[in-house]
Every structure is written in structure tokens, then in C-alpha cells.
Structure 1
Amino acid sequence: MSLLDDFLIRAALAGVGVALAAAPMGCFVVWRRMAYFGDATAHAAILGVAMALALDIPVFGGAVAVALAMALTVSTLSGRGYSMDTLLGVLAHSALAFGLVAVSFLTDVRIDLMAYLFGDILAVGRADLGVIWAGAALVVGLLTWRWQALLTATLNPDLAYAGGLDPRREQLILTLALALVVAVAIKVVGVLLIAAMLLIPAAVARPFARTPEQMAMAAAAVAVVSVLGGLWVSLDLDTPAGPSIVCVAAVLFLLSSLFRSVRQGA
């Protein structure tokens, strides 16, 4: 019997794959103050799921397409009379609502909506595992390739221009990476919890890191611990796996905040 025949091994591998993709991306979300942006992209993915099921195409493809379309729409409309948080709030909740309505029309397709909203990591199959790791490798490769340029454009756009970089192009690369992270994370934590997996590990890692690279690696370690800890809690207490992963991450954030307070008070 293959190790991959064990549903728990598959769940752990899927969770680690998502953690390694979401954590470094989450650092850029924190640095750029893009929390609402990540949330809006994740909410839009449910519309992509509905479209994929209706058109009989892979869910991953539909989620990437709609998440990317949402991110590009926000980038295009920002600064045209609406504040960014208002624009993101309107688009995020509208996309989620249209997605849920679209799903209700899929009478010929059996769909577990809760699995897409909150994740169903324990039901990950071999094919899902392949998609998750391929997507994660693409995200990590993209961020590694453009790391210095992305960092410069994030920390100092004027310096980026002076160095011959186009901050808008780097923003587009981040947007693509974010859409990929959302698509690979849907099966694991669901659209409502993806933003938490982007933000919390990065926020936990921040007090312990002295360089951006250290923060990205620490965030990845925190995310992996959250996934494995959440799966253990889920198995031990019979709780939903996706929310349990986020709960473990939240406890780590609380411990990190306490450590930061103690260190500052010392």
C-alpha cells in the first residue's frame, strides 16, 4: 500500500504545499497592507468554482481565472473616485454573493458548498495533491525569480523607478501569485479562511525576523506548524480541519504578540 493511500498523509502534504506558497506571499500582503485585497480575491474564487463546474473545466482553472480577474479589476479601478477599502468591500461581497447564487443553479452537479467555503483538506485526492504542489511550486518560483524587484517595488517605488523597474509590473506579478495561492488553498482551508493563512503566519514571524528573507522563511515555518498542529487538533477533538488550522495559527499569533510585549517591556 502506498503512503499516499493514507488520507491523513495526503492532507498533511496538501497543507504543507499551501503553507509554503501562502507564507511568502502573505509577507508581501502584510508589507503592502493588502489584507482586503487578499480577502477580495479569495471571495471571488467561489464564482470561479461555480463557473468551472458549470463549464465542466477543472476547478483550479476557474478559480485562478476569476481570482485574477478580480485582482486586475481592483488594480484598474483603484484611485478612480473610490477608496480602496470601499472598492474591495463592494467587489469581494458582490463576487461571493454572485458565486453562491450561481452555485444554486447547478442542479445537475453535486457540490458540497461548505467544503469550498471552509475547506475539506481530509478529502484531498492524489490529483488534488498534484495540482496543489504544482501551483505552490509556481508561486514559490515566481516569488524567488522576482524577489529583489518585488521587494524594491514594495518598500520604495521611487527607488524601483530609478533602478529601471516598473512597480506596476511587479504589482501584476504579485497579483498573479495571489490568484494562484487562492486557487491552491481552496481545497485546504476554503475561500473564507484563505486570507487568514496569508496574514497570520506573516504576522507571527514579523517580531522574530531582521530581514525580509528571514520573515518569509519564518512565516513558512509557522504556516507548516499551523497546518500540522491543526490536523492533529482536528483528529484528536473531531473538529473541522480548515478552521482548526487557522485556530492554531491564531494561538501562535497570540504567543508571538505576548513575546513582543515582554521583549519591548524588558
Structure 2
Amino acid sequence: MLDDFLVRAALAGVGVACATGPLGVFVVWRRMAYFGDATSHAAILGVALALAADMPVALGAALVAGAMGLTVAGLAGRGWAADTVLGVLAHAALGTGLVAISFVQGVRISLETFLFGDILAVSRMDLLTIWGGAALISALIAWRWNRLLLTTVNEDLAHADGVSPMRERLVLTLALALVVALSLKIVGALLISALLIIPAAAARALSRSPEEMVFGATALGAIAALAGLWASWHFDTPAGPSIVTASAALFVLSAVFGRLRRA
């Protein structure tokens, strides 16, 4: 069955949705959209370093994305304006990465693969990496769920309960770096944050509890992946942008349905 590239692509899309769903709700709740952009853009620099050092691309992307997250968190904690730091570092990392890739010798690659993804080229090893990473992220979120939720709602209350908000931010930063590495081949660096944010934002209008929002974001992300692949196959459109467009359509539908339900 896995010899069919469309089946592999569908499994990859659902696997990424299982990773982005639980994490995306915290990105939305904590208003970390620009943080997601910065880490995903930094992944391009990680790709360049991985190719130059002859190491796995996913590992290089995860390391640099994690370093970006830690750098942003550190500078913001020292009094720098968070949006300014994110804007400078995100674009600097993206530009530097694109320039660095052009200097890598003996490697023939398409930049579009890393910018916009190539889900139709997913291999069996990619599937193993994606689903293994998704399981790790889901387990991490489930383990830290109460602490993450408490620090998201009220950091002062978390301090009083003996929970360190800094430690929970570190957990989210590392999880976000892993998601970036997993999603890079699926939707590309420029669209990863959309896959994190849009399904979670769509699920918010349909959910009555944090747990419902997590499951809703995961389900909507999986539906968007399958619908985007269907549209790409039938209309000959790019697969990654098609998945994001399907996510946007689901967001519109959920917003309308949520408004009608409240009315």
C-alpha cells in the first residue's frame, strides 16, 4: 500500500496534523504566531548548514529552529521588544539561509522544496520520522498539559503553584522546533506557521473546552491535509499551498458556523 505516493502523502499530512494540532492551540492561546514564523524561517538556515555538514536535513532544521527560539526568548527577557526581535531574526535567518544554500557545493536541490514543501515526494523513512515525531510531541504535550495550561492562563498563579513559566516556555520552544523540522518537507518553511495557526484558530470557534480545541485542531488539520491533496491531484495545483488554502476554507466555515451557533 505504501508504494502509492498519494497514500504516503496522505499519511504524512495526517501525521503532521497530529503534531501541529496540540501545539497549535498553545501558539494561538499565547499569541505566538510571529514566533512560529521566526522558527520556521530559521529552518532554511538549518537546511543550509545540514547540507554543508552532510547531516540529516531534519536534524539541522530542528537544531537551528530551536536555537532561534531560545535566542528570541532570551532577548525578549532582557527588555528587547519581542516583535522587533522576531522581525529582525526571522528575516535575517531566512535571507542568510537562502544565500548559504547557494554556496553549498555538489548538492543539486530546489529551493521551492524547502520554501513551499513537497509532500508528494515523501518516502517511507520520512513517514517514520513524521509519525515518530508526532507521537513524541503528543506525549510531551500530554505530560505537561496541566502545567502548560496553567502558565498560559496565568503566570502568577503558576508561580504560586510552584510551576516555572520559563521552563514551560522552553518546552514549547523545543516542541515548536521539532514541528518545524517535521513539517518542512510537507508545506515548506513559508507555510509552516499557517498549518500551526489556522486549524487551531478554526477549532476555537467550535470548542467548549481546551481539550476539545486540541482534538478539533488535530481533526481539522488532518481534513485540510486530505482536502488539499485532493485539490492538488484534481486541479494540478501545488500541494503545500493547497493544504493551507483548505485550512483557510475550514476556518471560514468554522467562523460562520460558530457565529450562527452563538446567535
Q: TM-score range by the shorter chain?
A: over 0.9
- Paired amino acid for 1:99: G
Tell me what 2:64 maps to. Answer: 66
After superposing on structure 2, the runs of 4+ consecutive aligned residues of structure 1 that deviate more than 6 Å are none
Pairing of 1:170-185 with structure 2 (within 5 A): 170-185=168-183
CA deviation profile, 1:126-154 (whole Å, cap 9, x unmatched): 11111111111111111111111111111
Tell me what 1:57 maps to. Answer: 55
> 1:79 Cα shift?
4.0
2:253 is the alignment partner of 1:255:
yes
Tell me what 1:75 maps to. Answer: 73
* Cα distance in 2 between the residues matched to 1:201 and 1:9: 22
CA deviation profile, 1:170-218 (whole Å, cap 9, x unmatched): 1100111000000000010000000000000000000111111100000
Taking only aligned residues, the RMSD between alpha carbons, in angstroms, comes to 0.9
Structure-1-length-normalised TM-score: 0.97
Tell me what 1:232 maps to. Answer: 230
Pairing of 1:145-184 with structure 2 (within 5 A): 145-184=143-182
- Paired amino acid for 1:136: A
Structure-2-length-normalised TM-score: 0.98
> 1:255 Cα shift?
1.1
Pairing partner for 2:208 from 201, 210, 213: 210
Paired residue secondary structure (1:82): coil
Tell me what 2:188 maps to. Answer: 190
> 1:260 Cα shift?
2.9
Q: What are the ranges of 5 or more consecutive residues in structure 2 without an aligned counterpart?
A: none
CA deviation profile, 1:1-53 (whole Å, cap 9, x unmatched): xx111100110111111001001101000000000001100000000011111
Instruction: Provide the aligned length of Structure 1 versus Structure 2.
Output: 263
> 1:261 Cα shift?
3.0
Tell me what 1:16 maps to. Answer: 14
Q: Which moved more, 1:39-48 or 1:129-138?
A: 129-138
Tell me what 2:28 maps to. Answer: 30
> 1:80 Cα shift?
3.1
Counting aligned pairs with the same residue, the percent is: 63
Tell me what 2:131 maps to. Answer: 133
Paired residue secondary structure (1:5): coil
CA deviation profile, 1:205-235 (whole Å, cap 9, x unmatched): 0011111110000000000000000000000
Q: Which moved more, 1:76-85 or 1:92-101?
A: 76-85
